[in-house]
Amino acid sequence: MKIYFSPFSPYVRKCLVTAHEVGLDGRIELLPSNAGPVQRDQDIIPKNPLGKVPTFITDDGAVLFDSRVICEYLDRLGGGALFPREGAARWDALTLQALGDGILDGALLARYEDVQRPEALQWPEWRAGQLDKAETSLAHLGANPALLAPGRVDIGTLTVACALWYLDLRFAGFDWRSRHPAVALWFAAFSTRPSLQQTWAL
pLDDT of residue 5 exceeding 90, the answer is: yes
Q: What pTM, to 2 d.p., does this model score?
A: 0.96
Question: What CATH number has the domain spanning 2-77?
Answer: 3.40.30.10
> 23 — alpha (psi -120 to 50), left (phi > 0) or beta?
left
Q: Side chain identity at 113, as an amino acid letter? A: E
Q: pLDDT at position 95, please?
A: 98
- Looking at the domain covering 87-193, what would its CATH class be? mainly alpha
Q: pLDDT at position 192, please?
A: 98
Domain boundaries along the sequence of the chain:
2-77, 87-193
* Average pLDDT over every residue of 124-140: 97
Any idea how long the chain is? 202
Q: Is-same-fold flag (2-77; 87-193)?
A: no
pLDDT of residue 194 exceeding 90, the answer is: yes
Q: pLDDT at position 202, please?
A: 87
Asked, as a colleague might, if the bond just before 114 is cis with ω within 30 of 0, I would say no
Sign of CA dihedral 115, 116, 117, 123: negative
**By three-state DSSP, how is residue 137 classified?**
helix
Q: How confident is the model at residue 39 (pLDDT cuts 50, 70, 90)?
A: confident
